């Protein structure tokens, strides 16, 4: 058996087209254009690539892109002042502060300074709490993309046994909350989990988000399981995921590749969240097919 390859790149392209169509309708019917502001502190090469890609895709979707770059030695006060100005700017509907930030800046303080309504990353304590308690929230982009792929592949997730490997605030915890809301039975596993392969082997759905290259191997996987690989690890062999694709593909029912799986979904969901934030800011219904 060879697993079905889940084409996140194709799904993301369709999602971006959907966003662009609804942005065009918003402009035509209400003379409103969603705006996304991205803030980059310092010159981390990977972050620069991400920011450029986000800006390009924002413009391609018909939105306004606002890019703010601060030097690596910018003070926390300077960054908080910029966030404050963006919070007050009515042309900005989404604010994203690119992580990681330099060591001298308190990441949590900066993230929680972002207006809850403009927190399109879904990282503020308020949005995290709303998601965890089943209230309407801005959902973090990567877990949202994972859930969209799972729904597309499996349909109803109710009653399925899911294991999320990793407990980060960015992926693991919100992913578990989303799967719980879908009525799956969810286990959050991590580095301290005893007999981790045995725990993973129970799952019909596996979401790997640990940041360790090829950690999950085929003998960990229940035959026919659906495997979502969130990992992006740079190695001498190029980009690889947290899942050993070749060995797992021989056991799983479906699997996302790296690259070309979850990665493209993250930016597409960022655009979707920005459109959603814009609609909510203007008292309009949520865009179709882009929210949970």
Active-site amino acid positions: 54, 98, 121
List of residues 6+ apart from 227 with CB closer than 8 A: 3, 206, 208, 216, 221, 243, 248, 252, 254, 255, 256
Could you tell me where the DSSP H helices lie in the chain? 8-30, 45-60, 76-88, 107-111, 125-132, 141-154, 172-181, 196-201, 245-249, 262-281
CB distance 97 to 114 below 8 Å: yes
CB distance 281 to 93 below 8 Å: yes
CA-nearest of 111, 148, 152, 150 to 128 is: 111
Distances (CA, A) of 32 to 27, 126, 196, 281: 5, 27, 50, 11
Q: Is 204 helix (H, G, I), strand (E, B) or coil?
A: coil
Compute how many other C-beta atoms are within 10 angstroms of the C-beta atom of residue 83. 22
Distance CA 23, CA 58 (A): 11
Structure tokens at 175: 């992913």
Q: For residue 64, what is the enclosing H or E element?
A: strand 64-70
């Amino acid at each position: 058996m060879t697993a079905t390859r889940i084409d996140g790149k194709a799904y993301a392209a369709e999602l971006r087209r959907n966003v662009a169509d609804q942005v065009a309708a918003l402009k035509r019917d209400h003379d409103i254009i969603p705006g996304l502001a991205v803030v980059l502190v310092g010159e981390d090469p990977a972050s620069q690539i991400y920011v450029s890609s986000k800006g390009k895709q924002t413009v391609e979707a018909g939105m306004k892109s606002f890019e703010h770059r601060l030097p690596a030695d910018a003070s926390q006060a300077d960054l908080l002042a910029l966030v404050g100005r963006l919070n007050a700017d009515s042309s900005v509907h989404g604010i994203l502060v690119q992580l990681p930030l330099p060591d001298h800046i308190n990441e949590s303080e900066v993230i929680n300074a972002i207006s809850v309504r403009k927190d399109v990353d879904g990282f503020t304590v308020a949005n995290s709490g709303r998601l965890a308690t089943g209230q309407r929230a801005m959902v973090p982009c990567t877990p949202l993309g994972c859930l969209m792929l799972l729904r597309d592949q499996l349909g109803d997730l109710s009653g399925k046994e899911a294991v999320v490997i990793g407990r980060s605030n960015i992926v693991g915890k919100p992913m578990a909350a989303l799967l719980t809301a879908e009525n799956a039975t969810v286990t959050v596993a991590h580095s301290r989990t005893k007999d981790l392969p045995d725990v993973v082997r129970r799952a019909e759905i596996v979401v790997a988000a640990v940041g360790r290259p090829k950690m999950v191997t085929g003998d960990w996987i229940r035959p026919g399981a659906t495997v979502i690989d969130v990992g992006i690890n740079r190695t001498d062999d190029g980009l690889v995921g947290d899942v050993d694709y070749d060995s797992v593909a021989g056991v799983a029912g479906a699997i996302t590749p790296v690259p070309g799986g979850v990665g493209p979904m993250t930016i597409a969901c960022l655009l979707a969240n920005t459109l959603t934030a814009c609609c909510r800011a203007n008292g309009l219904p949520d865009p179709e097919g882009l929210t949970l």
